Amino acid sequence: MSVKANTFGVGVATNITAAVGGREDLTDVIYNISPTETPFMSNIGRTKCSATTHEWQTDSLASAAANQQLEGEDYDSAGLSASVVTTRATNYTTISAKTLIISGTHESTLKAGRKSEIAYQVAKKGKELKRDIEFTLCQQQADVASTGTTTRKTRALESWVDTNKSSGTSYALDATTHVITDGTQRDLTEAMAKAAVQAAWTSGGDPEMMLTGPVNKQNVSSQFSGIATMYREQSGVGPGAIIGAADIYVSDFGELKVVPSRFSRDRTISIIQKDMWAVAYLRPFKVYDLAKTGDAEKRLLLSEYTLESRNEAASAKVADLNTSLL
């Protein structure tokens, strides 16, 4: 092999790329940027259900009115008020699942970033499953009963909220099938949000969270005058650091946290009273070992659940919004 002198007078092989025996520079850390936040599911309640058809009851108080009675009044049966029956609400459970298969060889070989491929993939699939459930709950999906050949579906957030809404022309929510027909899209205005919040409050609700997609989260920040101060003390960056986002909307009926969601539709802002919603689990998250039929390990991750709307009139929505920055 030919050798030439470098500037320091030391002999150097010209074919240095042919060297062997060096260890591959593969870090023992796996970087995953995929988001795992589930703001709707993480902020509402959690409960149990015992059948695929989940039922609960809703009720409301009579409207307030002048109430003055005659002294010594004799309240006979003719003057008594009949009791108002509660309203039965129903939703169906749906099943979300993820599967994986890892060969015996792959599990046994030395790997960068994890010791067990099975454990790593189970953890990863668990995060994916949680994202899928959040996506399902935040959509405009109508409920569908199982007929053996039809997948059972749960009625999702947008398909519940109907009493208090601001919507575009031709919007409709079918009272029987709960299917939404989207209306004509329009630009978001603060007046729309104000009216929706007021409607929920007038109905007896106490909304506390605005769930919005990324574009209209920015439009709330830039267009709403009711945004709390755009300055915030942050340690390490000096006083009054400018924050280019609106985290709190101060309405005439209380403060609402503005929460961006990657899994809700950007055309809809959901205005939520959190304790009036819950995920009801028939089968909570669980990992099942599937039958071993060869030289591989198989796992099933599964959850069966439904969305419980304890009283949709406590919440509101602004629907049919344009999805471009204002």
Can you read off the two tokens belonging to residue 7?
Answer: 């500037």
* Pairwise CA distance, residues 208 & 255, whole Å: 6
What is d(CA 42, CA 274) in angstroms, rounded to the nearest whole number?
Answer: 10
Is residue 299 situated within a structural domain? yes
C-alpha 59/C-alpha 86 separation (Å) is: 5
For the segment 58-86, what is each residue's pLDDT rounded down to a tens digit?
Answer: 888 888 888 888 888 877 766 677 778 88
Task: Specify the DSSP class assigned to residue 321.
Answer: B
Q: Are 140 and 180 in contact (CB under 8 A)?
A: yes
Radius of gyration from C-alpha coordinates of the chain: 28
**Residues 183-221: pLDDT tens digits?**
999 999 999 999 999 999 999 999 999 999 999 999 998
Residue that wins the pLDDT comparison between 15 and 66: 66
Distance CA 305, CA 38 (A): 16
Span 166-182, average pLDDT: 97
Q: Model confidence at 321, in pLDDT bands (50, 70, 90)? A: very high
pLDDT for 240 beyond 50: no
d(CA 138, CA 37): 13
Domain containing 193: what range?
39-56+88-318
Cβ–Cβ < 8 Å for 258, 228: no
Check residues 319 and 223 and name the one with the higher pLDDT.
319
Angle at 33 between CA 103 and CA 123, to 5 degrees: 40
Average pLDDT over residues 30-37: 60
Residue 24 lies inside a defined structural domain of this protein: no
- Model's pTM, two decimal places? 0.82
Highest mean pLDDT among 12-16, 66-70, 222-226, 318-322 belongs to 318-322
Name the pLDDT band for 147 (thresholds 50, 70, 90): confident
- Best CA proximity match to 210, nearest among 250, 154, 163: 250
Dihedral sign (CA 281, 287, 288, 290):
positive
Tell me the average pLDDT across 226-244.
50
**80 in a structural domain:** no
Residue 200 falls inside a structural domain: yes
Structural domain includes residue 76: no
Residue 270 lies in a domain: yes
What average pLDDT is seen over the chain? 85
What is the rounded CA–CA span in Å between residue 289 and residue 301?
A: 9
Number of domains in the chain: 1
Q: Classify residue 259: in a domain, yes or no.
A: yes
Instruction: Identify the band that residue 277 occupies on the pLDDT scale cut at 50, 70 and 90.
Output: very high
Choose among 317, 22, 42, 321: nearest CA to 157: 317
Confidence check: pLDDT of 241 > 70? no
pLDDT (mean) for 114-124: 90
pLDDT higher for 60 or 227? 60
Q: How far is CA 169 from CA 176, 183, 260, 293, in A?
A: 21, 5, 26, 57
- Identify the three-state secondary structure at position 275: helix
Tokens of 12: 């150097």
Residues 6+ apart with CB under 8 A from 138: 40, 156, 157, 158, 211, 261, 263, 264, 265, 270
Question: Could you tell me what percent of the chain has a pLDDT over 70?
Answer: 82
Q: Which residue has the higher pLDDT, 28 or 281?
A: 281
In a domain, 216, yes or no: yes
